[in-house]
Amino acid sequence: MVREAGDWVWSSDRAMVGQASAPGWLETDWLLGQFGEERAGAQAGWADFVRQGVGGASIWEDLRHQVFLGSEGLVERHCATTKPLRLREIPRAQRRALAEPLAGFARRYPDRGEAMARAFATGVYTMQEVAAFFRVHYSTVSRAVRRFRV
């Protein structure tokens, strides 16, 4: 991609560190306030924070249901406390309810193979995601899917 966060054309990093004007919609004060009380120190703290993320694990590994960035526990808590919105602007063919978290399949189906097959059958989870949750190789998930043909 790019070597420095500020080199990315869509990055707000240059505005955060004071190298460019911030657009009206970008809230720099609140975010910088999380890194210090004085602007220069906060900007340095922000820059350090960004540098610490370079070369780290990809945030996309924690993406769930193509919506949630976090753990299965976070997804479960969100789904338990949130009512689904009525999506009138989205064509019916494009609507899909959120799938049950993988932990729910593990609880509901005592047979691990069936739990894996049913989770994969939702179309939300890849074989790799199911395999990682159940701590098996993805070929094990593939065999379970063939065996149960849910």
Strand extents, DSSP E, 3-126:
63-64, 68-69
Task: Please give the mean pLDDT across all residues of the chain.
Answer: 85
| Average pLDDT score over residue span 125-150 | 92
| DSSP structure string for 37-86 | SSHHHHHHHHHHHHHHHTTS--GGGGEETTTEES-HHHHHHHHHH-PPPP
What is the phi/psi pair of residue 19, to 5°?
A: -90, -5
Instruction: Tell me how far CA of residue 51 lies from CA of 6, 56, 90, in angstroms.
Output: 11, 10, 39
pLDDT the model gives residue 63: 78
| Average pLDDT score over residue span 25-54 | 91
pLDDT of 93 higher than 60 = no
Per-residue confidence band for 85, with pLDDT thresholds at 50, 70 and 90 = low
Listed by start position, the domains of the chain span 5-53, 60-148
pLDDT of 97 higher than 70 = no
End-to-end, the C-alpha distance of the chain in Å comes to: 40
Q: Which residues pair with 58 in a beta bridge?
A: none
pLDDT of 134 higher than 90 = yes
